[in-house]
Amino acid sequence: MSTLLLRVLAIGVAVTAGAVCSGAYAQRNEPTELVDQQHCMFCHTSDAPFLAPAFHQIAERYRNVPNANLMLEQKLRAGGRAHWGDMPMPVSAERGGPPLSPEDARTLIEWVMSQ
């Protein structure tokens, strides 16, 4: 094999490996039913801050923070103090949604972190 062909193959393998390794935060489809139930879009948007940070801002801030998913899941379920200005994260009942299960919180956070 020629050196050029070997380099091209090596690059292809590296790109494929990178895509597989980054799969933890690969773009996920919006869990629309959960987003609607929890009224996420009352305060958040996908791409611009509104009353709260955009989903992509949350993902950028926490993507490389150890245990961020667990912290964010807990914040979704129990509410939490403001990290982005003056508005704290309300609990489900204050958002007008049903109680949020750990599984549903995980689904939402995995989607947010894929932004």
Q: Which residues are annotated as a binding site for heme c?
A: 40, 44, 89
Read off the DSSP letter of residue 25.
G
User: Would you give the distance in Å from CA 6 to the centre of its chain?
Assistant: 37
- Is residue 20 pLDDT above 90, yes or no? no
pLDDT tens, residue by residue, 22-59: 445 577 899 999 999 999 999 999 999 999 999 999 99
Place of tokens 């996920």: 28
What is the C-alpha separation between 25 and 110, in angstroms, rounded? 7
Determine the 3-state secondary structure of 74 from DSSP. helix
Mean pLDDT, range 73-86, rounded to an integer: 91
Superfamily of domain 28-113: Cytochrome c-like domain (1.10.760.10)
Q: What is the pLDDT of residue 115?
A: 93
Domain range list for the chain: 28-113
Cα distances (Å, whole numbers) of residue 82 to 2, 86, 89: 58, 6, 7
